[in-house]
Structure 1
Amino acid sequence: MRFLYLLVSLLLAMATPVRRTGPAQPVLPAPRHAAPPRRQARPIPAPEARIPNYPAFAETAETHSPLWEITYEYGGRAPYTARHRANGTIVAAGDLATLDWALYAYVVPPTNPDIARARPPRGGRARAYAPAP
């Protein structure tokens, strides 16, 4: 009799479909809003490393932005640095007022000194116009 029970249970096990033990629905990825927040591109500087008098710095940077790229680096003798956009000249200063004055007074040197000597400066003299008689 035990043999008959064993035979029937084996035949039933072979005939019944295999049941999965996982979830009935496929697992979907988590929605976007459930993702962890992204990290910042660069860390927020410590309070002592932030730019002192930032509104004045922003105004100076905006004023000179067509020609100069102005940056601030904490901890140096000259933390205010400006790089000329065309020729790469670097000007550095210890305070913002000095940097502002230097950028206003800076004259871009000519790239070819022979051409600069050959041509007279423009607007040096005014010519009088006299009509021909």
Structure 2
Amino acid sequence: MADQPRTVPTDADVRAFVDAVPHAVRRRDAQRLLDLLGRVTGEQPRMWGPSIVGYGSYHYRYASGREGDAAAAGFSPRTASTTVYLADGFDAHAEDLAALGPHTTSVSCLYLKDLDRVDLAVLERILRRSWATVTAPGFGQV
């Protein structure tokens, strides 16, 4: 499990945030991810901090004693690409990532420049597996 950012859920309007994304492709992809992650998680999106759209939550606790809550699934439309957060990391998704299409990764972040260039069925499979792992009892506890 990757070290999570210290963000908290807010009452900010998710649709207003997505509608205000300046980059047309990021805005379009964010609208698609709202639908996709809503379908995958069965949850309503919430803003986590000023720029992360999150679904559900889980509690994490590290051996160091640091603990907190994080979105169980989420994304952020950034300037260079859309970041999709996979709290369970990438090991369990290696085969699907190979079939996904153009992307890069870092820690628990999957970077996608254009959803039109990736296999959305593969992305949905990755998100479903990640959601199941992160929301399972005991995830996030070290």
**Rg: which structure is higher?**
1
With structure 1 as the length reference, what TM-score do the two structures score? 0.32
Which structure ranks higher in relative contact order (CA pairs < 8 Å, sequence separation ≥ 6)?
A: 2
Structure richer in strand, relative to its length: 2
TM-score by length of 2: 0.31
